[in-house]
Chains A and B, each alone.
Chain A
C-alpha cells in the first residue's frame, strides 16, 4: 500500500515537474525484484523515495515560483499565453481608401456599397455573435473548471496537512494516505479538466480573434462598433481567464510556508518512527510466516513428491500399456498382411479357374449361338427370297394387267379414232348432201338451180370410200349437174301455161294431124270445159285417159305437190299434146330424179350420221 502511494506521488511529480527522479527508476527496479529479497531493503528504498520526493518538492517550489506557470500546463498553453499577450496588442483596421468617381456612378456605387456593407455587416455581426457566444461559453467553462481545480487543490492541501499533522493509528494513517492519494488524483483530474477547458477557451478565443481580424480586414465602418464590442468582450474574457489561471497558480505556488515545512519534517520523522516500528513487527511476523511457510513447503514437497511418483507410475503404466497395444497392433497388421496375401493367392487361383471355365463356356456358347444364328439367317434368307419372288410375281402380274389395259385403252382409242373418223366422214357427207339439197332450193321462179356439179363433186369427195354414196352421187343426171333443175313451183307454173296448149292440140295425134284437125281441136278446147283440178283416182280406167281429164288430174296433183303423179299422168298423154308437154315432162323427170337421188343421199347421210353420232 505504501509503495502504491509512493508510486502515485512520483507519477504526479513527474507529470508536474518533468523531472524524473532517479529514485523512481530505482524503485521500479526494486519493485520488480523477487519476493525472497530482504524486506528491509524494500522499506529503506521506500523511505528514501518519500523523503527525496518531498525534499524535491520543497526545494523546487522555493527555487522557481514563476516557472510553475510554464511547468503546470503544457508547452502549448505556454505558447497560448504568449499568443494571448500578443493578441491584446492588436488594434482596429485602417480606413478604406476613397477615389474620385462620377456622381451617378458614385451614388450607385455608394448605394451598392451600402447594400453590400449592410449584407456583410449582417453576416459579420452574426458570425461575431456566434463566435462570441461560443467563446463566452468556453471561457465560462474554463473558469468553472479552474475553480473546480482550485477547490481540488485546496482539498488536497488540507488533506495533506491533515495527514501530516494528525497523530493517528497506522491503519488510519494509511487510510489518510489513501484519501490523500485520492485527493491527489482528484486534483490531478481537476487540473487536467481545467487545462482542457482552458485550452478550449483559448481556442474559441483564438477563433473569435480571427473572426474579429477578418471583420476588421473587411474595412466596413458599420461593422466597427460590433468589432469593438467583440474585442472588448474578448479582452474581458481573456482577463477573467488569466485571473483565474493566476489564482490557480498562486494557490498551487504559495502552498507551503515554513511552518508547513517544519510540520512536514516532523511528520516525516514521525512517519519514519512509525515505519520502523512496523518494520520490527513485520520482521517478527515474517519469521513466523517463514517457518510456517517452510513447514507448509515441506508438506507440499512431500505431497508433490507423492503426486510426482504417482504420476510417474501412472505414466509408466500407461506407457507399458501403450507399448503392448502398439505391439498388438503391429502383430495384427502383420497377420492381416499375411492373411491378405494368402487370400490374394486364393483369389488369384480362383480367378484363373474362373477364367478357364469362362473360356470353355464361351466356346460352347459361341458355337451354340453361331448355330442358332446360321439357322435364323437361313430362315430369313429363304423368307426374303420368297418375299422377293412374290413381289416380283405380283409386279409382273400388275405389269401384265397394266399392259393389257394399256392395250385395251389403245385399241379403244384407235377404234374411237376410227369411229371419229367415220363420224367426221359421215358429217362431211351429210354436210355436202345438205349443201346439195340446199342448192336444189336455189331454183327461183322459172330459173333453174345452179349447176349441181360443184355440190355433187363435194358429195363425191366426201364419200370417196363409200360405194353406195358414190353410186348415188354418180346417179345424178348429167343435165342437172351441168344446167341445174327446175323447181316444182316453176314446173307447176309452166304446166299451167302448157295445159291450155295441150288442151288445144288434144285431138292431134299421128293419124289426125291436118289443119282441119287443128281447127277442130281448137274448137273442142274452146267449147269443152273440165274441172280445173280433179283428184285422180287410185287406178286409172280407160275413160280417165282423156287428155282433158288427165290434165286436170295432173293439175290437181301439181297443186298438191305431187310432181311424180302429175308426171305419170302427163305421161299418159298421146299425140301432139304429148309432144307439146314432152320437155316439161323431161324437166319434171329430171327434177324428180335429182330429188330422188338427193333424198336418198340425204337419208343415207342421215342414217350414217345417226349411226356414228354418239348420244351424249
Chain B
C-alpha cells in the first residue's frame, strides 16, 4: 500500500509533471482547489526519518471513516525546534495535500507551537470543502501524535 503510493509519488517527483494551467482548468472548486492540486502533484517532504532516532517523533494515525492512513515524522534540534519533517499518506488527494502542507507548516516551530496547530488552519489554506474536512483533522492528529511520541521518547531518555 505505502510502497505503491511511494513509487507513484517518487515517479511523479522524478519526471516533471505536465503543467496545469490552474486558471484554465475548471477543476471543481468544491473539491480540488489549485492548492490541493499543487500539493497532490508536488507533495513536499515525502519520505521517512529514522524512527529510532531520539530526536525523531513519529505519528501514525488512521481515519476509520475512510480508511486513510497518515504517517508524519518530525525531527527536532537540541533546542526543541522542528528542523525537519516527513510524511507518507495513503489516502485521497485532500489527505495527501493536508499532510504535505502540515509538514511545511510545522517547520521552524517549537513543539508547543506545533501542538497548537488546528485543522481549520490547514482546511482554510487548502480551501477544503466540508466533505474533506476530516482530512485536515487527520493531519492535526498526526502532528499531535508525532509530538506525543517525541515527548515520550525524551522522557524515557532522561
Real binding pair: no
A residues adjacent to B (C-beta < 8 A) = none
B residues adjacent to A (C-beta < 8 A) = none
